[in-house]
């Protein structure tokens, strides 16, 4: 059965199945190519008649993850230039107003899309939420720093998508005054910037950060990746010069320059840069309600499949600690609390706390608004990944069938029920079901069969970083 909705730019036709209406591939901005390439997002031209929104739209230009991550995090590649599009799942396009969740995908700012099957929004719509997933420009197209182009173009795309939601979501049964923006990894990093961006003020009421802390860099650092690519291409480090390069060659060189980097081990990549406009130099403390957390063993997604966890020996661990100026007292504390752990596991645990868990705890301490923290602790049996990065997504979306590459076929449905229910409750009321952050530091630990609130988990280790 068809469903019809009227947006500010024209009417769209979606499809209804099992009581859920789905609208796919709706453009929220003009195709970012031709005159719009390396520019801020431009309005999409209105259309006449009824536009089909039955299939996912084009995805932003990208290359797949390198092996073995390509097997664990399957990506989607849909060709076409009209890649600034979004998807909507709703239980009642003619009713409402219902709470809205807008999902911003992760992928190190160079991979991913809103069309990934794991992000199917049917379970949220089933439970009374209008779910929106968004595509935005990636890699050098979205986050390359040039002297002749606006910075943070991918973030500007996200703001344009949120503006579309503000103007149009009521036509899909959603409440434009009750929008929660959610994201994982680079999506969460983006949301942290959106929370303090004056360009995004008033576009959402609540936020969810999954495994991604606030993280911006100066323009002087952000430009390094573009310069490395320009050197390999033998062209000037300008948007004009890059726009003249064949797109496939540009992606090849981008992969060569940044393909081996990851959020834990580091390396050249793409970043949100402080531009004094979209990303302010002195961000104010945001007042939106916030749900945030991370997975207990984030690092294992990169360290275990690649074999790094076994390549790190006692000597290379000591050298890494010296390179990053990690005090011996901190290292001894981690070793003492993990008897029998491999040197690579010790390094990964410290990296997870230094780069993810610690910054999220400090953000919680600094906020005047209500904040709720969680930790995902269920260990995947696949390749000994443990409670690794991205593992929680299938549980949040109550979509374990499409998350089996990471979870295996026997992931616990009761854990998905609990996490999904908490996200629905937070988007609906601002209360996920446990106590807000205060001096006792409550953290909801999502495990199986055990789950519950723990006060100040592993606080001694986090505190050790602050004392240096």
Residues 6+ apart with CB under 8 A from 103: 114, 119, 121, 131, 132, 133, 134, 182, 183, 187
Query: Residue 207 — φ and ψ, nearest 5°?
Result: -145, 150
Query: Residue 327 — φ and ψ, nearest 5°?
Result: -60, 145
Helix, strand, coil share (%) of the chain residues, nearest 5: 40, 20, 45
Angle 103-144-277 from CA coordinates, rounded to 5°: 70
Burial (0-12, 13-18, 19+ Cβ within 10 Å), 150:
middle
Could you give the residue numbers annotated as active site?
185, 298, 389
Query: Residue 457 — φ and ψ, nearest 5°?
Result: -65, 135
In the three-class reduction of DSSP (H, G, I as helix; E, B as strand; rest coil), residue 103 is classed as strand
In the three-class reduction of DSSP (H, G, I as helix; E, B as strand; rest coil), residue 20 is classed as strand
Which of 168, 359, 356, 376 has its CA nearest to residue 263?
356
* Contact present, 38 and 149 (Cβ < 8 Å): yes
Q: Exposed e or buried b for every residue in 334-352, given b needs 16+ CB within 10 A?
A: beeeeeeebbbbbbbbbbb
In the three-class reduction of DSSP (H, G, I as helix; E, B as strand; rest coil), residue 78 is classed as coil
Query: Residue 446 — φ and ψ, nearest 5°?
Result: -90, 100
In the structure encoding, which two tokens stand for residue 162, read together? 């949120």
Query: Residue 269 — φ and ψ, nearest 5°?
Result: -165, -160
Residue with tokens 């390509």: 70
Which of 295, 303, 397 has its CA nearest to residue 343?
303
């Amino acid at each position: 059965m068809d469903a019809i909705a009227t947006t500010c730019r024209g009417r769209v036709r979606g499809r209804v199945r099992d009581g859920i209406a789905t609208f796919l591939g709706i453009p929220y901005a003009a195709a970012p190519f031709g005159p719009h390439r390396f520019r801020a997002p431009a309005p999409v031209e209105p259309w006449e008649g009824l536009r089909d929104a039955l299939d996912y739209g084009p995805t932003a230009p990208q290359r797949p993850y390198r092996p073995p991550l390509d097997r664990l995090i399957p990506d989607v590649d849909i060709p076409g230039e009209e890649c600034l599009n979004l998807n909507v799942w709703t239980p009642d396009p003619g009713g409402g107003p219902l709470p809205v969740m807008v999902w911003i995908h992760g992928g190190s700012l160079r991979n991913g899309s809103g069309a990934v099957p794991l992000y199917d929004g049917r379970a949220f719509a089933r439970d009374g939420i209008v779910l929106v997933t968004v595509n935005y420009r990636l890699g050098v197209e979205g986050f390359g720093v040039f002297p002749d182009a606006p910075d943070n173009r991918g973030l500007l795309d996200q703001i344009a998508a949120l503006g579309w939601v503000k103007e149009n979501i009521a036509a899909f049964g959603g409440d434009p005054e009750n929008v929660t923006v959610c994201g994982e990894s680079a999506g969460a990093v983006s949301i942290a910037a959106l929370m303090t961006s004056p360009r995004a003020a008033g576009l959402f009421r609540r936020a969810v950060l999954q495994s991604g802390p606030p993280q911006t860099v100066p323009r002087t650092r952000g430009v390094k990746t573009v310069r490395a690519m320009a050197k390999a291409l033998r062209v000037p480090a300008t948007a004009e010069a890059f726009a003249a390069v064949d797109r496939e060659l540009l992606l090849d060189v981008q992969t060569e320059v940044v393909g081996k980097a990851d959020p834990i081990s580091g390396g050249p990549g793409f970043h949100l840069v402080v531009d004094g406009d979209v990303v302010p130099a002195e961000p104010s403390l945001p007042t939106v309600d916030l749900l945030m957390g991370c997975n207990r063993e984030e690092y294992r997604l990169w360290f275990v499949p690649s074999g790094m966890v076994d390549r790190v020996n006692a000597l290379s661990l000591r050298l890494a600690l010296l390179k990053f100026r990690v005090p011996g007292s901190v290292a001894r504390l981690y070793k003492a609390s993990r008897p029998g752990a491999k040197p690579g596991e010790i390094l990964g645990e410290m990296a997870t706390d230094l780069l993810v868990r610690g910054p999220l705890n400090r953000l919680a301490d600094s906020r005047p608004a209500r904040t709720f923290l969680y930790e995902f602790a269920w260990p995947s049996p696949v390749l000994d990944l443990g409670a690794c990065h991205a593992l929680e997504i299938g549980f949040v979306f109550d979509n374990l069938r499409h998350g089996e590459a990471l979870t295996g076929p026997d992931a616990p449905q009761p854990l998905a029920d609990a996490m999904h229910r908490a996200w629905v409750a937070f988007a609906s009321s601002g209360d996920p079901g446990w106590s807000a952050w205060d001096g006792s530091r409550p953290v909801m630990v999502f495990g199986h069969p055990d789950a519950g609130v723990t006060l100040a988990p592993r606080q001694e280790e986090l505190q050790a970083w602050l004392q240096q």
